[in-house]
Amino acid sequence: MSTKTQEIVKVYGKSKATDHYLSPSRRDAVKVNWEEPFSCMVYRKAIEQTEYRLGNSLEVLDIGSGTGDGISLLTSKLMKESGLNLDDDIDYLGIDICQDMCETARSIHSHRNYVRFLQGDIRQSLPDEAFKLYLSCGVPYSHLTPAELQIALQNIFENIRRHNTRSAVVVDVLGKYSIEWVSKWNLSRWDYRMNFFQSDGEADFTPMSFYSAQELNQLIHEAAAQANCKLSNIEFFDRSVMVGRHTSTGEFTPNLSRYRNLVNSLMDVDCTTDFEQLMFDVQLGEAPAEIIDFFKTFQGWWNQLIREAAILCGETVHGCESTLPTEFQGLTKELKESLDNSQVENIRASIIEPILAKYLHNLEVSTQKGLGVGHTLMALVSVDQS
């Protein structure tokens, strides 16, 4: 086993990551109500780009499959609610470098007969089979250096060519310009710590790669060119702009408001949330103009929604008013209507805050442009070699 492989296996060994991935507390309200629906929206788009049609088989290769979150999401209620019931159609193969992860995944998903987990290193080779969807979730590609990622993607594009499929590739990496690590915005690969793991011991630092959309786009095109494969389309998505896991640890920006905890609190009908803490008040670093512009606009709108909720609670928050575009307006009106019809005791925690959370969520999802400003940057690459 190479030193690099040993490092990854050490990070994801049984007592640490596996525990984390199996812990019920990992699925907090943000994950369930914000992150998973967003991922499923991208997966649905991805599946639409393939030659899969209901009743056919959808062959999926899940890269860095861990304990098999990919198969859980693809067959989740969220996908079924949008009309994609893949239970009978899916033929899923998860590949992961860590044997512990594969064993755990096999036991978790033993009730599914269309699921396999294979121990393997995507930097070396891929299973020589046809897949319509090359999935990744939970930023597995960020473990690789950019050069290794290019080779891994080249292998995927070559596989698509060899098997003459119309396929989609979801490339899931860490966003370079997340508010979680402003002090690292000038770096592309640095020692990251997953200290949100639910384990007793200290989490290890491990080198991870971070991307802007521009950098990832270039790398994907180079990989495709090397594989002599023409891309039909490429689209980028930012997931978790305000609520990345490290907004609850403060690991890389100690004075950052604990936004993920605060948003979880908004959705908890038994908790009252500190609106002042929830205001977007982040010292930005140096970044390309489009990144700074994005955050400046986002800040005004995010804070305006909080201000409207605060006013109804008889509070004031700092900063000046800003005008919301029509599609994000309506919070004050909806809150007033809900309050008129309500008999509950703790109006703030049970009505105002969950409605505010809904508006903030809509803002995050609708304004993201796929720049690399979220915890996760997702690329959806469509390739037609059929």
List of residues contacting ligand SAM (CB under 6 A): 8, 12, 21, 64-66, 69-70, 95-98, 101, 121-123, 137-140, 143
SS3 354: helix
State in angstroms the smallest separation of the CB of 125 from ligand SAM: 10
Count the helix, strand and coil residues of the chain and give each as a percent rounded to the nearest 5. 45, 15, 40
Asked if residue 79 lies in contact with residue 87, where contact means CB atoms within 8 angstroms, the answer is no
| C-beta of 174 vs 216, nearer to ligand SAM | 174
Shorter beta-carbon distance to ligand SAM: residue 135 or 357: 135
Instruction: Find the shortest distance in angstroms from Cβ 355 to ligand SAM.
Output: 30
b/e per residue 47-59 (b: at least 16 CB within 10 A): bebbebeeeeebb
DSSP string spanning 273-290? --HHHHS------S--HH
Strand blocks (E) in 53-188? 58-63, 90-96, 115-119, 133-136, 166-175
Nearer to ligand SAM, 70 or 374 (CB): 70
- Which residue number, 65 or 261, has a Cβ lying nearer to ligand SAM? 65
Q: How far is the CB of 272 from ligand SAM (least distance, A)?
A: 32
Q: Name the minimum Å distance from CB 217 to ligand SAM.
A: 22
Q: How far is the CB of 175 from ligand SAM (least distance, A)?
A: 14
User: By the 8 A CB rule, do 7 and 99 touch?
Assistant: no
Contact 138, 245 (CB under 8 A): no
CB atoms within 10 A of CB 287: 20
Name which of 305 and 379 has its Cβ closer to ligand SAM.
Answer: 379
Judge whether 379 and 220 are in contact, CB under 8 Å. yes
- Least CB distance to ligand SAM at residue 281 (A): 29
- Minimum CB separation of residue 4 from ligand SAM in Å reads 8
Q: How far is the CB of 237 from ligand SAM (least distance, A)?
A: 16
Shortest distance (Å) from residue 148 CB to ligand SAM:
7
Q: Which is nearer to ligand SAM, 309 or 378 (CB)?
A: 378
> Any idea what the Cα angle at residue 364 is, between residues 268 and 325, rounded to 5°?
115
118 vs 269, beta carbon nearer ligand SAM = 118
Q: What are phi and psi of 266, to 5 degrees?
A: -55, -35
Can you tell me the distance from the alpha carbon of 167 to that of 386, in angstroms, rounded to the nearest whole number? 9
H or E, element range at 342: none
Q: Which is nearer to ligand SAM, 61 or 216 (CB)?
A: 61
CA dist list (Å): 384 to 58, 229, 325, 381: 16, 9, 38, 10
Residue 66 or residue 374: which is nearer to ligand SAM going by CB? 66
Beta strand 231-239 with 376-384 is antiparallel
Reported in sequence order, the residue ranges of the chain that DSSP labels E, i.e. its strands, are 58-63, 90-96, 115-119, 133-136, 166-175, 189-193, 205-211, 231-239, 376-384
